[in-house]
Every structure is written in C-alpha cells, then in structure tokens.
Amino acid sequence: MSELHEDAPDRAFWNAVSAAHIGRSWLDVHWYWGEAFFYRRLLEATEYFQPGPGRHVDPFGPKKATDWRRTRRLKR
C-alpha cells in the first residue's frame, strides 16, 4: 500500500497516521485501519476533493440513502 498523492485537506493527516503501514500488505494491517484507509483511497480514486463532477460525491451515497430509508420504515 502507498500513501495518498492527491492535493486534499486531509492528505498530511492520512500520510502521517499511515506511515507505519506504508509498504505493507493489506493483510498485514489492523482490519479497521485497513477498512478506513481503503475507503479514503476510494475517495481519492473518485476525485472527491477535486474540482469537477465527483467533488464531494460519496461513491456509496445512493446505497446509504436507500438503506437509511428502509431502516426508518422498519422502525415505524
């Protein structure tokens, strides 16, 4: 795994907290950190922080919204 490369407001934070894991396999890191970092890498891949159509668009937003509506209906 490698550090983040895009110009983003949280890049320095993620690279600092990821330093101990850089160069290691996804199988050799703590699962929660790996899951969180993987999601952050997805945001980088979808250009979440960059100008353009992907800016601030959660790639899982539609699925989360559907699940949220379903959960609310079940609680009623």
Q: Which of 15, 37, 16, 17 is nearest to 26 (CA)?
A: 37
* 3-class secondary structure, 30: coil
Please tell me the predicted confidence (pLDDT) of residue 1: 83
Q: What is the DSSP letter of 49?
A: T
Give the predicted TM-score (pTM) of the model: 0.78
Each of the 76 residues of the chain gets a pLDDT tens digit; together they read 889 999 999 999 999 999 999 999 989 999 999 999 999 999 999 999 999 998 999 999 999 999 988 888 877 6
